[in-house]
Amino acid sequence: MHAVQMKGIVKRFADLVANDHVDFDLEKGEIHALLGENGAGKTTLMRILYGLYHADEGQILINGSPVAIHAPRDAIKLGIGMVTQHFTLVPTLTVAENMVLGETGSFTINLKEIEKKVAEASKRFGVPVNPHALIRHLSVGERQRVEILKALYHDAQILILDEPTAVLVPQEVEVLFNALLRLQKDGLSVVFISHHLNEVMQICNRVTVLRDGKLTGTVKIADTNLKDLANMMVGRENFGVTRQGEREQGKVELRIEKINAVDKKGLQALKDVSLEVRQGEILGLAGVSGNGQTELSAVLCGTQKITSGKVFAGDVDLSSADTSDVCAAGVGRIPEDRHANLVGELSVAENLILDQMDKFKKNGIMDQQKIQDNAEELIKTYNIKANANDRLRTLSGGNMQKVMLARTLSQNPRIVIASQPTRGLDVGATDYVRSTLLEQRDRGAAVLLLSEDLEEIMALSDRIAVIYGGKIMGVLPAQEATAEKLGLMMAGSAA
Amino acid sequence: MTKYRIERAPAPGWMRILIPLLAIPVTFLLTSVIILLDGANPFTTYYHFLVSPLAGRVSAIEVFVKSTPLLLTGAAVAFAFKGGYWNIGAEGQLYAGAIAATFVGTVLLDVPPIIGIPAMVIGGFAGGLLWALPSAILKVKLGVDEVVTTLLMNSIVLNVTSFLLNGPWRNPVSMWPQSPEISAGTVFPQLIPRSRLHFGIIIAVIVILIIWFVISRTSFGLKMRAIGLSKEGARFAGIKVNKTMLIVALVSGGIAGLAGAGEVAGIHFHLIDAISDGLGYSGITIATLGGLHPLGVGISALFIGLIDTGAQTVSRVLGVPVYLGDVVQSTLLLVTLSLFVLQNFRIRRVN
């Protein structure tokens, strides 16, 4: 018996297809994982089910009958509850008050009565919360329990959890899993969105894998293993740009020594990470997303501080550098989020000189002609489909990335930090970016490539390191690195 | 079934220039309701608002007199906003500039204008800059929201002014709460005989030309524009965001201080409690109407100066309250801001 069936779901955002004819079904009383990388379309699919988005095509059936879900209100009526990554609780109100927020059902509030009902529900569902507690006094794990109880309190039969473990410490994860297993026994159906393979293997019955908005497949956990799942998640077509031949390796250009750093929530994200990148090589850093890549990239770009350790670019100590020091040290950066790290409302020409203004000014006055010439030359060299005076935001993702590449690489940096450089790009642009990175390597630059795309790492890297849980699991020469070995390391076993 | 859907679709670039012009007729329609309630004819009222002041020589000059401080506060706010610093404190910085100028003007006795006038200009700038300093430091060091701190600094300086005028600076002869007169050598010269038009308007025009040049032609201008548009993007490109923003905030305060110095040295020749009466807040309206572009600021300051002058004509001729001018100004700001938001959307019919 199916609790939920989603058939042929298509969702487009402008020219991006977030869900491309995705089929998904959830059986009654199962915990079903929705697995995929960032941007694979997991959350979009569930937001459609919860009424936050509307599918452009496709059909939704709940308990076998077709339904129309226009808003979360409709979803809640159908017994669907969703706990998002960003909690929707009011910190200054109590647990009980949050439970009935927006639907007290009457003009007056009988808080005593509500608190009693919440306490009963808490006992009945085995989700321990204190109805009198103020939300702001609760830990993240407790807040999440309140969110879950809130859904159950409103008679949810189907519970969607969007990356519930992302915000939790390991002990809290245990508590969550125990609660879920208990609820499952009582007949609750759960969709568990995640990109952590181990968790999926641990708690789920079946798993549906999405990749680039398309369905890769649905399998029983009993019939699969970590390695197969990793392959289903990260595999992508090989676009034909690959590293040719081996090179003499030069001296160490980028040296990272035992660095530690925390993420936005203050949790440890990098643990004693040490890496060396030599002149004329690409060191690929593989890993499932959320294992510290974002923080490592931010540290090397100068946008985040480390709590301990050392970073050297050649002889220059960048351990406590800000972005201007990093630029001055000759580190070229291709960041993960190109939208945020360029200025959309400035022109292409202005963006192209933003990190090297000094070369384009005379006595503090900008040399407009030189800026224009520079832009026209780079637009030609890097094949950017835009005019020099276009606002940057009017460009497509691929062309924006080319602007970033042009700005960074035209300065002939001795070190290149490329973070997810082809994410979200089409085949042509991906090809282009990859061959550009190889050119940099052949020119003698030390290239650190952070990517969640294993094929990309294997196609381009001279050596491959794997990061898991903020730790480097090992570094392999490209010849020894098979997809199988890397897959195991990405799932947490040491080389 | 036909339904309408609102969707995001930014209007083309030329629309942004058209918006302030479009706002004027809309404002006219909205304020007509109030004018009618007051028993006056909207068309006559607007004739006196917009045309009468320019018809006579005296009142036409008065438009420029009224515009002088507005050009400076508008420039101060636009400069700050352009650099991503939300300075709501031009009013307070104007007062601080006026206090500093009064101090200079009452201390420097028997100086020739060649020394006195530059001293007033520097004093006014320094006063505004100093008043902008605490908020700017709190912003860059601790990330305290400058909207709140600059606004609160406004009420502090009003009380400081009251204290000075009722305490140390109380006029010893009349006992009125007004400061002693500034010395003759520190008075701004008149530009047209028997009018109130003074040297301050030349300062204002020069300031506007300078900030236009700085914003559009210098590397500092590119840095501050980048910060104003995307702090993250600017920081990534190695721009020192905090240092740049600090300079922007202080210069903005200094420019607003010049407006205060001009009112003291060109109009009143002493400090009074009501030296500004909202000129700094009008600067926000003017900066917004001018699309934060220095030349746009120039035009909108003259326009608001016209409305301010017209409000007095309207009240004299038609007997409606002089506050109608404030109503028109505020409505114009709201309409312009709404249009800036609305231009990002369109309504489409879907089947």
Whether A309 contacts A256, CB under 8 Å: yes
Distance CA A140, CA A170 (A): 12
**Rounded to whole angstroms, how far apart are CA atoms A5 and A226?**
26
**Over the stretch A227-272, which tens digit does the pLDDT of each residue have?**
788 778 766 544 556 676 666 678 899 999 999 999 877 788 999 9
Q: Is A305 touching B (CB cutoff 8 A)?
A: no
Q: What is the CA radius of gyration of chain A?
A: 25
**Looking at residue A494, what is its pLDDT?**
67
- The full 3-state SS of A24-79, as one line of letters, equals EEEECCCEEEEECCCCCCHHHHHHHHCCCCCCCEEEEEECCEECCCCCHHHHHHCC
pLDDT at B91: 96
Domain count, chain A: 3
**Cross-chain Cβ contact B229/A344 below 8 Å:** yes
Identify the band that residue A105 occupies on the pLDDT scale cut at 50, 70 and 90: low
Chosen domain end from A363, A397, A412: A412
Q: Which residues of B touch A344 (CB under 8 A)?
A: 229-230, 233
Residue range A362-388: average pLDDT?
A: 91
Q: Give the per-residue pLDDT at A364.
A: 84
Pair A24, A125 in one domain: yes
Structural contact between residues A35 and A195, judged by C-beta atoms closer than 8 angstroms: yes
Question: Do the beta carbons of residue A162 and residue A38 sit within 8 Å?
Answer: no
The total number of structural domains in chain B stands at 1
Q: State how far the Cα of A468 lies from the Cα of A456, in Å rounded to an integer.
A: 18
Task: Say yes or no to pLDDT of A170 above 70.
Answer: no
- The residue of B3, B16, B217, B219 whose CB has the most chain A CBs within 10 angstroms, and thus the best one to mutate to test that interface, is B219
CA distances from A159 to A28, A70, A179 (A): 11, 18, 13
A54 in contact with chain B, both atoms CB, cutoff 8 A: no
pLDDT tens, position by position, A9-57: 999 877 678 899 999 999 999 999 998 876 788 889 999 999 988 999 9
| Greatest pairwise CA separation for chain B in angstroms | 83
Co-location of A87 and A49 in the same domain: yes
CB proximity list for A122: less than 8 A, separation 6 or greater: A128, A129, A131, A149
> What local confidence, expressed as pLDDT, does residue B351 receive?
59
Domain end point (choices A176, A205, A234): A234
- Whether the pLDDT of residue A169 is over 70: the answer is no
CATH number of the domain bearing residue A103: 3.40.50.300
The pair of structure tokens assigned to A56 is: 């452009």
Residue A88, classified by CB atoms within 10 Å of its CB into exposed (0-12), middle (13-18) or buried (19+), is exposed
Is there a single domain that holds both residue A422 and residue A469? yes
- CATH number of B165's domain: 1.10.3470
Pairing of strands A331-334, A415-419: parallel
- State whether A292 and A360 are in the same domain: no
Indicate whether B94 pLDDT > 60: yes
Contact B235, B115 (CB under 8 A): no
Spell out which residues of chain B touch residue A303, defining contact as CB-CB under 8 Å: 235-236
Strand segments, DSSP code E, in A407-461 are 415-419, 446-450
The band of B271, judged by pLDDT with boundaries at 50, 70 and 90, is very high
Look at residue B264 in the predicted model and tell me its pLDDT.
96
* % of residues, chain B, pLDDT over 90: 63
Rounded to whole angstroms, how far apart are CA atoms B179 and B169? 5
pLDDT tens by residue, B24-80: 889 889 999 988 888 888 888 888 888 888 988 988 999 999 999 999 999 999 999
Centroid of chain to Cα A142: 24
Radius of gyration of chain B from Cα atoms? 22
Shared domain check, A425 and A477: yes
Last residue of a domain, one of A412, A435, A468: A412
C-alpha distance from A365 to closest chain B C-alpha (Å): 4
Task: State whether B236 and A366 contact (CB < 8 Å).
Answer: no
A12: contact with B, CB 8 A cutoff:
no
- Identify whether residues A356 and A456 lie together within a single domain: no
Could you give the percent of chain B with pLDDT greater than 70? 99
Please give the pLDDT value at position B296: 92
For every residue of B308-338, DSSP letters joined together read HHHHHHHHHHH---TTHHHHHHHHHHHHHHH
What region does B23 belong to: left with phi over 0, alpha with psi -120 to 50, or beta?
A: alpha
CB-CB under 8 Å, B217 with A365: yes
Are residue A307 and residue A352 in the same domain, yes or no?
A: no
- Whether the per-residue pLDDT at B113 is higher than 90: the answer is yes
Domain that holds residue A448: 240-330+413-495
Domain that holds residue B145: 3-350
Q: Are residues A351 and A292 in the same domain?
A: no
Provide the mean pLDDT of chain A: 87
Cα torsion at A100, A105, A111, A114 (round to 10°)?
-60
Q: DSSP letter at A391?
A: B
- Smallest CA–CA separation between B227 and chain A, in Å? 9
Q: Is B214 exposed, middle or buried (0-12, 13-18, 19+ CB in 10 A)?
A: buried
Tell me what percent of the residues of chain A surpass a pLDDT of 70. Answer: 93
